[in-house]
């Protein structure tokens, strides 16, 4: 009789545990796995390099300044088209070293075009820094950095800068998931990455 009274709670507890999925509990490890494994987080960061006539704002953007510093592009002043005003505008060309660097990164069919889309970097999760739960929703704070895929990525996306983001999670019948679109206080992973701030 005494044995049955001990076994009953043990069996009940075992049944409850076996019915739970590892995704039922939002731990830092689960949050890291879901973020790092998501399509949004793993999407490569593409850089669009425009040659020919560009605006002053584009030519002096951080990305173009990085390419100028590496000696991959040069430019001469040029007249602005109506959609690029106000002047000055710039006629951007690839230097010989720029051609050598970039031609291996673009599709041969695009070689004659004035605009190149280059897969430059991907994201790398650094750490989950906090989880704030409110019932079936949660905000997860995390840090990440860029992992350059080539020389262009290394010039434009420094690997030594750490970024801070926050993303919304929601508990469903099959466990916790990252939200696809913003809800209440949480934000989607896409918005979280776009709104990332460098860690001071």
- pLDDT at residue 4, as a whole number: 55
77 and 172 inside one domain: no
User: Going along 25-179, which residue ranges are E strands?
Assistant: 45-50, 52-55, 73-78, 89-94, 115-134, 137-148, 162-172, 175-178
14, part of any domain: no
User: Which of 113, 143, 166 is the last residue in one of the domains?
Assistant: 113
Residues 36 and 133 in one domain: yes
Confidence tier at 200 by pLDDT (50, 70, 90): low
Q: How confident is the model at residue 14 (pLDDT cuts 50, 70, 90)?
A: very low
* 7 lies in some domain: no
58 is a domain residue: yes
* pLDDT recorded at residue 16: 43
In a domain? residue 8 = no
Residues 130, 190, single domain; the answer is yes
Question: Is the model's pLDDT at 100 over the cut of 70?
Answer: yes
Can you tell me the mean pLDDT for 82-104? 91
Instruction: Say yes or no: 150 and 166 in one domain.
Output: yes
Do residues 137 and 193 both lie within one domain? Answer: yes
Q: Is residue 10 part of a domain?
A: no
**Boundary of a domain, candidates 113, 131, 156:** 113
**Looking at the structure, do residues 71 and 163 belong to the same domain, yes or no?**
no
Q: What is the pLDDT of residue 185?
A: 52
Residue 8 has pLDDT above 60, yes or no: no
- Residues 167, 80, single domain; the answer is no
Place 17 in a pLDDT band, splitting at 50, 70 and 90: very low
pLDDT value of position 111: 67
Residues 6+ apart with CB under 8 A from 50: 58, 92, 114, 115
Structure tokens at 190: 């896409």
Q: Do residues 69 and 168 both lie within one domain?
A: no
Residue 69, pLDDT above cutoff 90: yes
- High-pLDDT (> 70) share of the chain, %: 84
Residue partners of 164: CB distance under 8 A and separation at least 6:
129, 141, 142, 143, 196, 197, 198, 199
Higher pLDDT: 134 or 5? It is 134
Handedness of CA 79, 83, 86, 91 (dihedral sign): negative
Q: Stretch 44-54: mean pLDDT, rounded?
A: 93
Is 6 within a domain? no
CA distance 105 to 152: 9
Question: What is the mean predicted confidence (pLDDT) over 65-85?
Answer: 93
Question: β-pairing, 73-78 with 89-94?
Answer: antiparallel
Check residue 145 and give its pLDDT.
96
Given a contact cutoff of 8 angstroms between Cβ atoms, the answer to whether 148 and 66 are in contact is no
| Run of H or E including 30 | helix 28-36
Looking at the structure, do residues 34 and 64 belong to the same domain, yes or no? no
pTM: 0.75
The Cα–Cα gap between 70 and 11 comes to 68
Higher pLDDT pick, 11 / 160: 160
On whether both 125 and 104 belong to a single domain, the answer is: no
Cα(138)–Cα(175) distance, rounded to whole angstroms? 13
Give pLDDT, residue 194. Answer: 85
| Host H or E run for residue 197 | strand 197-198
Q: Are residues 158 and 126 in the same domain?
A: yes
Extract the tokens encoding 112.
């004659």
* Residue-range definition of the domain harbouring residue 67: 52-113
Lowest-confidence segment of 99-103, 107-111, 123-127 by average pLDDT: 107-111
Q: Are residues 38 and 61 in the same domain?
A: no
Tell me the C-alpha distance between 177 and 138, whole Å: 10
- Residue where a domain terminates, one of 61, 80, 113: 113
Number of structural domains in the chain = 2
Q: Which two tokens stand for residue 172?
A: 């469903």
């Amino acid at each position: 009789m005494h044995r049955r009274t001990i076994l009953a709670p043990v069996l009940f507890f075992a049944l409850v545990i076996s019915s739970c999925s590892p995704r039922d509990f939002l731990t830092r490890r689960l949050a890291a796995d879901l973020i790092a494994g998501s399509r949004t987080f793993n999407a490569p960061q593409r850089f669009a390099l425009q040659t020919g006539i560009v605006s002053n704002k584009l030519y002096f953007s951080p990305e173009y300044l990085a390419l100028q510093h590496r000696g991959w592009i040069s430019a001469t002043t040029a007249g602005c088209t109506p959609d690029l005003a106000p002047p000055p505008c710039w006629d951007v060309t690839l230097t010989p070293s720029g051609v050598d660097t970039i031609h291996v990164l673009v599709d041969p069919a695009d070689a004659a075009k004035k605009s190149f889309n280059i897969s430059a970097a991907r994201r790398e999760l650094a750490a989950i820094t906090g989880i704030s739960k409110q019932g079936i929703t949660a905000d997860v704070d995390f840090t990440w950095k860029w992992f350059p895929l080539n020389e262009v990525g290394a010039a434009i996306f420094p690997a030594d800068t750490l970024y801070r983001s926050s993303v919304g999670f929601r508990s469903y019948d099959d466990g916790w998931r990252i939200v696809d679109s913003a809800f209440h206080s949480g934000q989607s992973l896409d918005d979280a990455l776009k709104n990332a701030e460098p860690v001071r």
